[in-house]
Amino acid sequence: MNLMNFVYAFLLLLAAFVFQTTLTGINRKVVARLQRRRGPRFYQQFIDIFKALSKGSTTHGWVFDFGVVMALGGIMATAIFIPFGPLKAVPAMDNIFIIAYVLAVGMLGMAMSASGSGNPWASIGVSRALTNMLAYDIPFMMVVFGLIFAFDTSSLSGLAAIQREGGFLGWHVIRFPLGGIVAMISLQGMLGKKPFDSFIAPAEIASGPMVEYGGRHLGMLFLLHEFSTFIEVSLIVHLFFGGGATVAAFLVKYALIYTFLNIVSNVLPRFKIDQAVTFFYKVPLALAVVQTFLIIVVGMGVA
73 binds another protein (CB under 8 A): no
Between 153 and 266, CB nearer to another protein? 266
Run of H or E including 252: helix 247-265
DSSP state of 167: G
Residue from 206, 247, 255, 294 binding another protein (CB under 8 A):
206
The 3-state DSSP class for residue 70 equals helix
The 3-state DSSP class for residue 87 equals strand
Q: How far is the CB of 166 from another protein (least distance, A)?
A: 36
28 binds another protein (CB under 8 A): yes
x/- mask, another protein, residues 107-136, rule CB under 8 A, reads: -------------xx--x------------
Which residue stretch of 100-108, 139-147, 260-268, 282-290 sits at the interface with another protein (rule: CB under 8 A)? 260-268
272 binds another protein (CB under 8 A): yes
Can you give the three-state secondary structure of 168-222, one letter per residue?
A: HHHCHHHHCHHHHHHHHHHHHHHCCCCCCCCCCCHHHHCCHHHHHCCHHHHHHHH
202 binds another protein (CB under 8 A): yes
Residue from 8, 30, 40, 130 binding another protein (CB under 8 A):
40
275 binds another protein (CB under 8 A): yes
218 binds another protein (CB under 8 A): yes
Run of H or E including 132: helix 120-151
Helix 120-151 / helix 156-165 crossing angle, nearest 10 deg: 50
CA distance 290 to 234: 25
Q: How far is the CB of 188 from another protein (least distance, A)?
A: 12
Strand partners, 95: 155
The 3-state DSSP class for residue 37 equals coil
Which residue stretch of 70-78, 103-111, 136-144, 212-220 sits at the interface with another protein (rule: CB under 8 A)? 212-220
Q: How far is the CB of 122 from another protein (least distance, A)?
A: 10
58 binds another protein (CB under 8 A): yes
Burial label for 128, CB within 10 Å (0-12, 13-18, 19+), is buried
232 binds another protein (CB under 8 A): no
- Residue ranges binding another protein (CB under 8 A): 28, 32, 34-41, 44, 47-48, 50-52, 54-58, 120-121, 124, 194-195, 197-198, 201-207, 210-215, 218, 266-275
